[in-house]
Amino acid sequence: MRRVRVGITVGDPAGIGPEIAARASADPRVAEVCEPVVFAPDRLDGIRVGFESAAGGRAAYEVILRAVEAARCGEVDAVATAPISKRAFALAGLPWKGHTELLAHLCGVEHVRMLFYAEACGEVAGTDGADGTVAGTEVPALQSTERRDFSPGGGAGQERRDLSPGGGTGTERRDLSPGGGAGPERRDLSPGGGAGPERRDFSPGDARLRRALCVTLATVHVPLADVPGLLTTSGVSRTITMTADWLKGLGVVAPRVALAGLNPHAGEGGLLGGEEEAVLAPAVAAAREAGVDASGPWPGDTVFRRATRGEFDAVVACYHDQGLIPVKLLAFGEAVNVTIGLPIIRTSVDHGTAFDIAGRGLADHGSLVAAVRLAARLAEARR
């Protein structure tokens, strides 16, 4: 049996897509799980690196067409996509707002959902491009020698961050007491830590912060004002069941899926909005009747934290930013965008085109590596 083949599209050729596709296809982490096949434009006429254009949007679209056709006819077993520009698509006269809508059209399916999955989420930080995309985000472990000093005196040769009146060695300290001194809340970033402080360990060994994170969106690229009217009991219930089915394909035997509320405090019994009682609670009930271990709607400001602590296997968010803020806060550069409901396997990065850093060699290809690896894993499971 031949190795799994994963098609990698370069996305908008004026963005960081071509460079991260090249790096990902040559990355040993990709080579160990699949044979990468890169799909790129044949010509770059009218395209300038770093600038959105109709030509760039059209070129990205044509590459997607080729990759999808290759997946549908079995030339590749899955497709992992680099980012495209919605504005460039619009400039090219294309009606789709993103990959998800276009892929549903190309595959002739009505019900697809955007899901984000991170194998192990933790707290990450990075240097962002102007459009919110990332260049070098992963921080697997912070060492005690990496310190940021915002005090007037500073320290030569060291970036230090000392928030306490008296300063300290090797720790980032936040003194919440009126007079400072004893009893500060401290976050120790050193590997060994010290006695007594509140500590956050960013290393992979801390299971509390390194759980898998799975978030599915009930609505995607729509104005926030339109969201309440787009949420239906049948649609939300289907999102819950599709999420559970996808997790079963990943090996989760009995997925626990939580639904986030739309309104503050999940509506507070109708005081802050009626969608929870009228739409969301019935959707959970319908999913449970279909055999899914579903619960909610839960307040959106705590449900994701509960998921990262292991209480749920996935969270269904009512709208784009409700779901993507926790994903990008906890797993930026590690999360993978998956389109569920397609007859083909499609994964993607968790960031955008980053036109502002395109061609400068600053883009991090880690999210695309994660996307390719997950695509290969899903393809192996289907064989």
- Distance between start and end Cα atoms, the chain: 10
Name the stretches of the chain with pLDDT < 50: 123-210
Correct CATH for 203-331 of 3.40.50.10490, 3.40.718.10, 3.40.980.10, 3.40.50.2300: 3.40.718.10
Give the integer Cα–Cα distance in Å for 135 and 19: 12
Q: For residue 366, give the amino acid letter.
A: G
Predicted pLDDT at 122: 54
Give the integer Cα–Cα distance in Å for 89 and 33: 32
**Per-residue burial over 339-373, b = 16 or more CB atoms within 10 Å of its CB, e = otherwise:** bbbbebbbbbbbbbbbbbbbeeebbbbbbbbbbbb
**Per-residue burial over 296-328, b = 16 or more CB atoms within 10 Å of its CB, e = otherwise:** bbbbbeebbeebbeeebbbbbbbbbebbbebbb
Residues 6+ apart with CB under 8 A from 311: 256, 258
Residues facing 177 on adjacent strands: none
What is the share, in percent, of the chain residues with pLDDT greater than 70? 76
Question: Please, is 330 exposed, middle or buried when counting C-beta atoms within 10 Å of its C-beta (0-12, 13-18, 19+)?
Answer: buried
The CATH topology of domain 1-110+127-137+338-383 is Isopropylmalate Dehydrogenase (3.40.718)
Give the integer Cα–Cα distance in Å for 251 and 232: 29
Predicted pLDDT at 181: 42
Give the integer Cα–Cα distance in Å for 26 and 191: 33
Give the integer Cα–Cα distance in Å for 368 and 208: 25
Coil, helix or strand at residue 270: helix
Phi and psi at residue 301, to the nearest 5°: -85, -5
Tokens of 325: 């803020």
Residues 135/362, Cβ–Cβ less than 8 Å: yes
pTM over 0.85: no
Coil, helix or strand at residue 227: helix
Predicted pLDDT at 278: 97
Residues facing 257 on adjacent strands: 294, 314
Residues of the chain with CATH 3.40.718.10: 1-110+127-137+338-383, 203-331
**Longest Cα separation, the chain:** 70
**Per-residue burial over 175-192, b = 16 or more CB atoms within 10 Å of its CB, e = otherwise:** beeeeeeeebebebbbee
Tokens of 307: 């998921």
Coil, helix or strand at residue 295: strand
CA distances from 162 to 124, 179, 189 (A): 20, 16, 12
**Which one-letter DSSP state was computed for residue 2?**
P
Predicted pLDDT at 121: 63
